[in-house]
Amino acid sequence: MKKIVYQFTILLAMSCIGIPTVFAQTPNFNIPISEIEISKGLKEALNNGISKQVMLISAKDGFLKNEVVKITLPGELKKVDKQLRQLGMEKLADKGLELLNRAAEDAVKEATPIFIDAVKEMTFTNAKNILFGNESAATTYLQTNTSSALYTKFNPVIKKSFAKVGADTVWNEIISQYNRIPFVKKITPDLTDYTTKKAMEGIFKMIAVEEKEIRTKLTARNSGVLKKVFELQDKIKL
């Protein structure tokens, strides 16, 4: 154990003083790797994961039929849903829920350029911290560096997506029907804001799934640089 701690201390010291080549060459830690390769490997892993998961959840039923990210109704709208079903309007209620997810699927296509910009700006220190961090360190990095830009981009796109998939028309009818029920408290929910936040939440959940895969499964490392970089991670965590 002391030997491993010593090796790790040496690694950190080397990186801090700017040694760019042969990252590790102790007898039990013989993985020559440079700072450039570490950054390249992490960026490749992130870009691959982002592309794969954005493609999956932006496809039809990418949200709706994926229980990890499926958008369900917030508290006050659950009451609306229940009331409509009690009044025999199951089809309208089902359509409303479906179209929230369709809007998210449509909007998520806009996420890739924002993520790619964040990956491009990643420094070696960022890459090193991600590589030796916990199993969601890369996802956390993206959340920290993209959430504001994603919300700004997504919110108007979600609004347009509502019109594109017909969610605005259906939800106007749902809310109108509900507000006409005697003695219920009238509601005016902000579904654009809610769906924007849930779409963002869904993206990060799926990127976290992809990150865990590449950290823990050798078969997910589908290039030489990925294998080399994450072998270093594996050795550190022994």
How do the pLDDT tens digits run along the chain, 238 residues long?
444 433 433 344 334 434 333 344 333 445 557 778 888 888 888 888 889 999 999 999 999 999 999 999 888 888 888 888 888 888 988 999 999 999 999 989 888 899 989 999 988 888 888 888 888 999 999 999 999 999 999 999 899 999 999 998 999 988 888 888 888 888 888 999 999 999 999 999 999 998 888 888 888 777 787 777 788 777 766 5
Q: Hey, CA dihedral for 127, 41, 235, 26, is it positive or negative? A: negative
Predicted local confidence at residue 238, as pLDDT: 58
Closest to 167 (Cα-Cα) out of 103, 104, 106: 103
Which residues partner with 30 through β-bridges? 25
Radius of gyration, CA atoms only, the chain: 23
Contact (Cβ atoms closer than 8 angstroms) between residue 214 and residue 137: no
Residue 225: C-alpha distances to residues 21, 218, 232 (Å): 15, 13, 11
CA distance 72 to 108: 17
167, amino acid identity: A
**Helix and strand totals (H; E) in the chain:** 10, 2
What does the pLDDT read at residue 237?
A: 64
